[in-house]
Amino acid sequence: MHNTVSNLEDRRIASGFSFLQREAGFEIGESAFLRYSASDSYLRALAVGLTNTLAVSLVGILLATVLGTAVGLFRLSKNFLLRTLAAGYVELVRNTPVLVQLFFWYALITEVLPHPRSALEPLPGVFLTNRGIFYPSFESAPVLQGFNFTGGMVLTPEYATLLLGLSIYTASFIAEIVRAGVLAIGRGQWDAAHAVGLQRGQALRHVVLPQAVRVIVPPLASQYLNLTKNSSLAVAIGYPDLVSIANTTMNQTGQAIEGVAIIMAVYLTISLSISAFMNWYNARVTRR
């Protein structure tokens, strides 16, 4: 602490968090929920970064859970092709660095997808382009005007890349957790379910999975935490998450210690919140 204070004084760097009230002076390319302009404060800029981080993390947790559960069950399928494809997906994704996967998806979206005038339309009103994924909203639908679409909603290439990459990567770990949870249930439970006339799918849904959840939930919480913390890799593809905006703030103000402290405090709070919720849910499942 003494060395830190001395170095700050020597470099005439003011300590404290008063800089948060100053005008930020930089634009943010994407804001999930909050309105923002360059004339707003650093505090609001960081709040935008936080909402962007949560927008990726929460949706990513949902998608990773659904995809991971499906793949985990596919690995237990009696269909050889389905089982093999699921195993190949898990082995490929788990053994490739997540940052490399993000670069792959970003290149795929920005370089392979066509420009708006030649957009792909897999579903009515949904357009895939190298400028983002456009889809209808309750108020309006995307319409091509000039060189881009207007109206509707859009997932930017950066957001789509981060969401897709983190969801697919985390789902590969969740798949193994689900598979292990199902395998942890004794064969007698399957036999008992079949004895009362339940088919394999019914036995899995009504008998095996409810018991497997008790085994699945604790390690599942760790994967949710990993996905949230991995969202900080957004800085590598230009998505304005909390870390990216905090880095810009530190470069402009020189408040590196305060900036890093804010990042650590926010991620600690998010992680503890997820852990508390999952512990509560685990206790509830265990009682039942």
Q: 240 near 49, Cβ under 8 Å?
A: yes
Helix (H) or strand (E) holding 128: strand 126-129
Spatial separation of the C-alpha atoms in residues 247 and 255, rounded to whole Å: 10
User: What is the pLDDT at residue 31?
Assistant: 83
Strand partners, 149: 144
Spatial separation of the C-alpha atoms in residues 30 and 161, rounded to whole Å: 14
List the chain pLDDT tens, one digit each, 288 residues. Answer: 888 778 777 777 777 788 899 999 889 888 878 888 889 999 999 999 999 999 999 999 999 999 999 999 999 888 999 999 999 999 999 999 999 999 999 999 999 889 988 888 888 888 899 888 888 888 888 888 888 888 888 889 999 999 999 999 999 999 999 999 888 887 877 778 778 877 877 887 778 888 888 888 889 999 999 999 999 999 899 899 999 999 999 998 888 888 999 999 999 999 999 999 988 888 887 766
Residue 96: strand, helix, or coil: coil
Non-local CB neighbours of 104 within 8 Å, separated by 6+ positions? 165
User: What is the pLDDT at residue 288?
Assistant: 63
pTM above threshold 0.95? no
Spatial separation of the C-alpha atoms in residues 57 and 45, rounded to whole Å: 18
Q: 79-112 pLDDT, tens per residue?
A: 999 999 999 999 999 999 999 999 999 999 999 8
Tokens of 138: 């309750």
User: What is the pLDDT at residue 63?
Assistant: 96
All structural domains of the chain, each given as residue ranges with its CATH number in brackets, are: 39-287 (1.10.3720.10)
In this structure, the number of other CB atoms found within 10 A of the CB of residue 108 comes to 14
Spatial separation of the C-alpha atoms in residues 86 and 73, rounded to whole Å: 9
Tokens of 37: 């302009």
